[in-house]
Structure 1
Amino acid sequence: MSAGNESFVTEFFIIGFPGLQPDFYNLLVGTAILFILLLILLGCIANICIIAHNKPLHTPMYFFICLLAMVDIVYTSGISVTMLNVLLGEERRVPYGPCMLQCFLFNLGSSMEPFTIALMAYDRLIAIVHPLRYLTILNKTNVCVLIIATWAAGCLFAGLFTGILNNLPYCTSNQLSYSFCEYAALVRAACVDPAYYFTLISTVGTSILWVNFGLIFFSYMKIVYEVLKMSSKDRRKMFSTCLSHIIVVVCFFIPKVLLVFVTRFGLVLTLTQRNGLIIGSTLGPSLVNPFVYCLKTKEIRRRLKNIFSRCKITPNI
């Protein structure tokens, strides 16, 4: 494109959901997103607080659950604020700096989520295959190293993508065709050929997904091999132990794989449909994760019951 079309951009204009023209539909979608965000924050904070205030839960499995909860908070809260401003506050202008920060947080969460889920699969593998050595292999030092490495990997990829976007020349027409500051929207707003930049993030993002999925698949193949040697009673116990994590894996990877196939294999979607698909693949798994662990993990469920039983008011007779 012509260099004359480039300019120093100080803010971006979010188009949002052009298919939702009546204010009623904007209000309805915005209210739904706000409700989902509050549920995510409630579930994640509840998990973190319950685990933090109960020393018997200070084990590797629960530390990884806390890590997943923190990732979900980072992953969803950044994009939801802009969407709520667009849909409920009708504020479509986002300054350059906050837009890049939001993009960094979104890329951080989307990079860390599969790494965290893979760590949780490794935790289940050690717990089932090497139960007597569990606390030796996953001691506090090793757990801290794994958690720090996960944050470092997430920051590396998020910094890489955000750094690329920060150095692009943006056009005078600084409209973003999405509902928040996202990599693809910012590339389309730049005065560059987007093909190279889309290929780059597609290659790196797909590699992150498939490498972590491969690690999870290998872990469960090893788990299945060991479980087949056990009695039927022990098998049911092991399946119950892994059920929560299996649900999290399915809820995260299926929407991501569908998103890759839809966006990279030529299926034509409207802008509103594309926005909805991206938002659903982001908020959906993050909504499922905390409540799966609240409802399916016996120790957390028991702590919740104790909390609610203490809050009951006994009437005076």
Structure 2
Amino acid sequence: MEKTNNVTEFIFLGLTQNEEMQKICFVLFLFFYAIIVLGNLLIIVTVISSQHLNSPMYFFLSYLSFVDICYSSVTAPKMISDFLVDRKTISFVGCIAQLFGVHFFGCTEIFILTVMAYDRYIAICKPLHYTTIMTMRMCSQMVVASWMGGFVHSMVQTLLITQLPFCGPNIIDHYFCDVHPLLKLACIETHIIGIIVVANSGMIALSCFLILVISYIVILVSLKTQSSEGRRKALSTCASHVTVVILFFGPCTFTYIRPSSDFSEDKMVAIFYTVITPMLNPLIYTLRNEEVKNAMRKLWSRKVISSGKAKG
């Protein structure tokens, strides 16, 4: 069948149609996005500038923060600006680019979180071999593999959608372009493609989540043989990661593990993994980590001293 595409733009319904609520949401999400960018940038700068934060855990954390900024920037600025306009439109090309970005950075984040769990597993369960296994070369290869995995996944999702014909309607009941809302607008039967989407997105999220759960069960079991101080330190670092994993994987798995549906809750759930989790990550990792907090204090004191000398 010849592909026909009469749609040049899509119209978002957004989070709410209420004008007063849109004004409140504009201020609220602008504040959230500022925290996402500033908080994650602070972690990146702190890790890069601190000599004490040179372990693989912080190497991965800096990349997680970078991905969080990119991930939220794909959807949040557009969503925030749309709160100020009545007609929330996006071009067809812009929609496909947004779809690619959401899945590229989202999947990369999933892989980096999985790599971080592997790092904690080696550090706690095989401490004597940690430095020989988790070399800088190995860490770099893991990060590159995470980016490549995200790219391949996103390309599959994007190519599946771009092959579909869109002849109207063009109204998307969401605040960004995603596979499920776009599948509903296609002019052909999309049941098979929907299954492929679930197999691609859902199974990546679910399988990585299961790997994470198994790795942390193994870690908890191995902690029985360690001292109380070692247990406390290990649990402290793992607790932050587990919290982030639950916040990100829970909503993400709910959205992508099932076929396309008419659940209006999808866009509310999406807020968690596109805005809330990237915003909370810096807080979770800094509030529960003394090394990061100390490094930030030193960075701040150095900045105050250097600015004082400059004025003097």
User: Cα deviations across residues 173-204 of structure 1 (Å, max 9, x unaligned)?
Assistant: 22222111111122222212132222221222
Question: What's the counterpart of residue 94 of structure 1?
Answer: 90
CA contact (8 A) 2:29 2:80 kept: yes
> Which segment drifts farther, 120-129 or 199-208?
199-208
TM-score, normalised by the number of residues in structure 1: 0.88
For structure 2, the residue ranges without an aligned partner over 5 or more in a row are none
1: CA distance, partners of 2:153 / 2:255: 19
2: CA distance, partners of 1:208 / 1:10: 31
User: Cα deviations across residues 27-60 of structure 1 (Å, max 9, x unaligned)?
Assistant: 1122222211111111111111111112332221
User: Cα deviations across residues 234-257 of structure 1 (Å, max 9, x unaligned)?
Assistant: 222221232211211222223334
CA contact (8 A) 2:13 2:173 kept: yes
Q: Of residues 269, 274, 292 in structure 1, which corresponds to 2:284?
A: 292
CA contact (8 A) 1:127 1:134 kept: yes
Question: What's the counterpart of residue 298 of structure 2?
Answer: 306
Q: Of residues 131, 135, 139 in structure 2, which corresponds to 1:139?
A: 135
- For 1:275, give the aligned amino acid: K
Question: What's the counterpart of residue 148 of structure 1?
Answer: 144
Question: What's the counterpart of residue 7 of structure 1?
Answer: 5
CA contact (8 A) 1:178 1:185 kept: yes
CA contact (8 A) 1:108 1:157 kept: yes
Deviation at 1:309, TM superposition (A): 4.1
Question: What's the counterpart of residue 76 of structure 1?
Answer: 72
CA contact (8 A) 2:117 2:215 kept: yes
1: CA distance, partners of 2:155 / 2:2: 27
1: CA distance, partners of 2:29 / 2:58: 28
1:124-273 counterparts in 2 under 5 A?
124-259=120-255, 269=263, 271=264, 273=265
CA contact (8 A) 1:75 1:110 kept: yes
Deviation at 1:3, TM superposition (A): 7.8
Deviation at 1:264, TM superposition (A): 5.3
User: Cα deviations across residues 77-102 of structure 1 (Å, max 9, x unaligned)?
Assistant: 11112212221244512122221111
Q: Of residues 267, 272, 287 in structure 2, which corresponds to 1:275?
A: 267
1:13 aligned counterpart, secondary structure:
strand
Identity rate, percent = 28
- For 1:291, give the aligned amino acid: L
User: Cα deviations across residues 96-127 of structure 1 (Å, max 9, x unaligned)?
Assistant: 22211111110112212221111111101111
> Which segment drifts farther, 161-170 or 8-17?
8-17
Question: What's the counterpart of residue 107 of structure 1?
Answer: 103
- For 1:190, give the aligned amino acid: A
Deviation at 1:8, TM superposition (A): 3.7
Is residue 134 of structure 2 the alignment partner of residue 119 of structure 1?
no
Is residue 44 of structure 2 the alignment partner of residue 34 of structure 1?
no
TM-score, normalised by the number of residues in structure 2: 0.89
1:26-65 counterparts in 2 under 5 A?
26-65=22-61
For structure 1, the residue ranges without an aligned partner over 5 or more in a row are none
1:211 aligned counterpart, secondary structure:
helix
Deviation at 1:220, TM superposition (A): 1.5
- For 2:275, give the aligned amino acid: L
Aligned residues: CA RMSD: 2.5
2: CA distance, partners of 1:49 / 1:288: 18
CA contact (8 A) 1:251 1:288 kept: no
1:122 aligned counterpart, secondary structure:
helix
CA contact (8 A) 1:44 1:290 kept: yes
Alignment length (residue pairs) = 306
Deviation at 1:25, TM superposition (A): 0.9
2: CA distance, partners of 1:21 / 1:144: 45
User: Cα deviations across residues 212-253 of structure 1 (Å, max 9, x unaligned)?
Assistant: 122212222221222101222322222123221121122222
- For 1:290, give the aligned amino acid: P
